[in-house]
Amino acid sequence: MIVIAAALIGAIIGGQTARRRKGNRLDIAQYAAGYGIAFAMAGLIVTVLIDRAAV
C-alpha cells in the first residue's frame, strides 16, 4: 500500500514540476513517470524496513 501511495504522490509531484517549468504534455508525462518510479522505489524500501523491524 505504501508503494502505490508513494508512486501516485511522486507522479503528481513530477507532473507539477514539469508544468511549473513550462513543459509540454510529453515532458509532463516523462517527469510524472520518472518521479513515480523513484518514489515507488523509496516506498518499497520503506515497506521492507517496516516489515523487517516488525518481526
Three-state secondary-structure class, residue 39? helix
The domain spans of the chain are: 2-54
Q: What is the pLDDT of residue 30?
A: 98
Task: Give the three cell numbers for residue 28.
Answer: 509532463
User: What torsion, rounded to 10 degrees, do the Cα atoms 4, 5, 9, 15 define?
Assistant: 30
Residue-level length of the chain: 55
Q: At residue 55, does pLDDT exceed 90?
A: no
Q: What is the pLDDT of residue 12?
A: 98
pLDDT in tens, 22-43: 999 999 999 999 999 999 999 9
